[in-house]
Structure 1
Amino acid sequence: MDVAVVAGEVMPYVSAAVGAYGAAVLAKTQEAAAQSTVGLGTRILQRVFGRSETPGAAPGDGTGDGTPDDGTPGAGTGAGSDAGTDAGRRAGVAAIEELAAHPGDADYVAALRLAIRRVLEAEPELAREIRAMVGAPGSVTASGERSVAIGGSNAGLVVTGDDVKVEYPR
């Protein structure tokens, strides 16, 4: 598995989470992170960099519990105390804070993507977990009557209602 690809795939989610919550994204509770894209981004960031009880505090610095969303202490969240991994997590927290201060700036987005990539390279099992969180590439699911699933982008109309009139500009 190419962790660079996984790191790239998670960026829309984590960027949305940082945009919504700023540097406090690691301190958000699971209930507050339940919204679709923002919630998934928050859960990914908390899984990769650990949870912090204090906005802006690095996991493992005595202010956060470093536990993932499921409450299992240390599972894949830096409790392994590998010095390189801990440094990577601190770099990730710093990248989150910088992106929160400069929303949408491509350089800060790239810095966060690189921080995510470095942690995933150091922890292949975590990379597999994150890949599973975002789903298989290109997979889409639609369920229910008149549901629409678009894998990628759509440049046209999607109409699912009855008696809909589509008028094109003249």
Structure 2
Amino acid sequence: MDVEIVQLVGQAGPAVTAAVGAYGAAVLTRAQDAAAGATVSLGQRILQLVWRHRDEAGQAELERVLGEAADEQDDTYSTAVLSRLLRQALQDDPALREELAAVLPAPAPGTVNVTASGERSIAAQHIGTAITGDGHTAPRP
């Protein structure tokens, strides 16, 4: 897979997931809410961009997938479905890749983006041992 597509999906994925989580399938038609967070607004703009690059059948399919992702209780599953949708759209449409790259903020050199999603999630760039969960006891060194 094209490295550019992987990078674009990595940058756009969290925003798209946040937007679908906030608005569901209505994210495509909802007027931009002034109170919406920056991430949700970015995700909304990305999905509307993908929407505009599709024909009627593609738009209907996008609505269906967004509705399913919004109804899903598993954030990991929703993130995977939405990332797959973005990858496919970007693979099929070089013009969409250019437009999406223009919408996304350019990462600063050396910047690492780490996203944690879901209840009790953790995110770290460098970590020794991370143990999560109720009732777990780690052996002491």
Tell whether the structures are fold-level matches, with TM greater than 0.5: yes
Q: Is the 8 A contact 2:17 2:78 kept in 1?
A: no
1:103 positional shift: 4.3
C-alpha separation between the residues in 2 aligned to 1:89 and 1:33? Answer: 27
What TM-score comes out, normalization by structure 1 length? 0.55
State the shift of 1:48 in Å: 0.6
Q: How does 1:117-136 map to 2 (within 5 A)?
A: 117-136=87-106
The match for 1:139 among 97, 108, 124 is: 108
Q: Give me the CA root mean square deviation.
A: 2.7
Aligned match of 1:11: 13
Three-state SS of the structure 1 residue aligned to 2:81 is helix
Higher-Rg structure is: 1
Match of 1:112 among 82, 87, 91: 82
As a proportion of its length, which structure holds more helix? 2
Paired with 1:116 and 1:152, the residues of 2 have a C-alpha distance of 18
Deviation at 1:110, TM superposition (A): 1.0
5+ unaligned residues in a row in structure 1: which ranges?
A: 51-76, 141-149, 156-170
Alpha carbons of structure 1 residues 134 and 98: separation in structure 2 relative to 1, 3 Å? same
- TM-score, normalization: structure 2? 0.65
Question: 1:70 maps to which residue?
Answer: none
In structure 1, the residue matched to 2:64 is 94
Cα 1:134–1:26 change in 2 (3 A) is same
Give the Cα separation in 1 of the matches to 2:14 and 2:81: 14
Cα 1:31–1:119, aligned 2, differ >3 Å: closer, same or farther? same
Q: How many residues align?
A: 113
Deviation at 1:2, TM superposition (A): 2.3
Structure 2, unaligned runs of 5 or more:
115-122, 125-141
Shift of 1:46: 0.7
Q: 3-state SS of the aligned residue for 1:139?
A: coil
C-alpha displacement at 1:132, in angstroms?
A: 2.0
Q: Which runs of 4+ in 1 moved over 3 A?
A: 30-35, 86-91, 150-155
Percent of aligned positions with the same letter in both sequences? 37
Q: How far has the Cα of 1:114 moved from its partner? A: 0.9
User: Do the aligned residues in 2 keep the contact of 1:49 with 1:89 (CA within 8 Å)?
Assistant: yes
Aligned residue number for residue 44 of structure 1: 46
**Using a 3 Å threshold, how does the CA distance of structure 1 residues 94 and 88 change in structure 2: closer, same or farther?**
same
Report the Cα distance in structure 2 between the residues aligned to 1:42 and 1:22, rounded to whole angstroms.
Answer: 10
Q: Can you list the C-alpha shifts for 1:42-70, whole angstroms capped at 9, x where unaligned?
A: 011111123xxxxxxxxxxxxxxxxxxxx
